[in-house]
Amino acid sequence: MPNNSFNIQATCNVCKTTDCKKLVDFTSDLDKEHYNVMKCKNCGLLFLYPLPNLTPQKLEQIYGEDYTETVYPDEQGKMDEDALNRQMEIVEKYVKVGRALNIGAMGSEVRVIKNRGWNLTIVDASKYALDRARKRGGVDELYLSKIEDFSCPPGSYDFIKFGHVIEHLKDPAEVLLKLSQMLRPGGIILVDTDNADGLETRIEESIMKFMRMKIIRKSAEKLVGKKYNLRYGRLTPPVHLYTFTSKSLIALTEKSGLKVLKSINSAWGDPTWFPTYNKSLVERMFIGIDQVGLKFGKGNVIAVLAQKI
């Protein structure tokens, strides 16, 4: 496929416009496929073109044991749980404890939401992640399914947690509309994801530009003893396929029959969204930049709390 940007007719998943520009193209280290990074001129959504063809085998490869198995030190696990409890306190200001759906079986969500008295359903495409959740126990219903293929009667849930999943999907608009239909009127959804406008991400991306020069990349890898996978900001094909701006996330939420109650910008190290523990000096430096970004509304994390109309 030619990489000439004039030949690319990529459509923004949010605005459905083809008024998008190509920023860069590169070959992913993860699947060896070539991708263009596109930006919607209207809403700022960043996305890959073409989108990867994710067969069930490929999905199993990407989201197998290597991806799902994250062993946190106890202190990080405790911080994550505290953060989720704070998020749920925000949610429960708007909706009474009832039936909840969590997309994804990893992380502390399962335990925290359950402990707060919710009847909890989880859906995950990874058999590995689901098996782990099943072993931990306590979940009312578990489904091995891509969220795209999951179905339930309309209005089934009072609350849906959609945390750091939207950037992985081939068609976020289709999935958010589907989730909106699963909420009862007045029900709440919490969506969070990376911020395409994050200051730290932009600075990191400027550094990564040099990494596209093989000689610099090889030297850097030698120096730190670590392999760098090429990416654009938070776009890591074939894993992260989209990066949203606040504007694009709000627009997509509103198009899905939901009313935005709160639009939140956050940064790594924020005790409610991304508490961090025991980071290296370099990582702490980037977290510091992220927190500076947050002061200007350019923290690396965005979240939307929305209500089904």
The footprint of Zn ion (CB under 5 A) covers 12, 14-15, 40, 42-43, 45
What is the C-alpha to C-alpha distance for residues 202 and 215, in angstroms, rounded to an integer? 22
Output the smallest distance, CB 21 to Zn ion, in A: 12
Helix ranges (DSSP H) in 15-171: 56-62, 65-68, 74-91, 109-115, 127-136
In this complex, which beta carbon is closest to Zn ion, that of residue 14 or of residue 133? 14
User: Least distance to Zn ion from the beta carbon of 11, Å?
Assistant: 9
| Radius of gyration, CA atoms only, the chain | 19
Tokens found for residue 92: 């429960």
Nearer to Zn ion, 17 or 145 (CB): 17
For Zn ion, the closer CB: 163 or 172: 172
Shortest Cβ 174–Zn ion spacing (Å):
15
Joined together, the tokens standing for residue 3 give 């990489």
Closest distance between Zn ion and the C-beta of residue 135, in Å?
41
Cβ–Cβ under 8 Å, residues 111 and 136: yes
Nearer to Zn ion, 95 or 196 (CB): 196
Of the pair 15, 235, the CB lying nearest Zn ion is at: 15
Q: How far is the CB of 198 from Zn ion (least distance, A)?
A: 18
Query: Hey, what long-range contacts does 142-145 have (CB within 8 A, 24 or more apart)?
Result: 142/105
Of 15 and 46, the one with the shorter C-beta distance to Zn ion is 15
User: In one letter, which amino acid is 204?
Assistant: E
Smallest separation (angstroms) from Zn ion to the CB of 10? 11
Angle at 113 between CA 109 and CA 116, to 5 degrees: 150
Q: 230 or 260, CB closer to Zn ion?
A: 260
* Smallest distance from Zn ion to CB 19, Å: 8
Question: At 164, which helix (H) or strand (E)?
Answer: none
What are the residue ranges of helices labelled H in the chain?
56-62, 65-68, 74-91, 109-115, 127-136, 172-182, 199-211, 214-224, 246-255, 281-295
**Count of CB atoms situated within 10 Å of the CB of 143:** 17
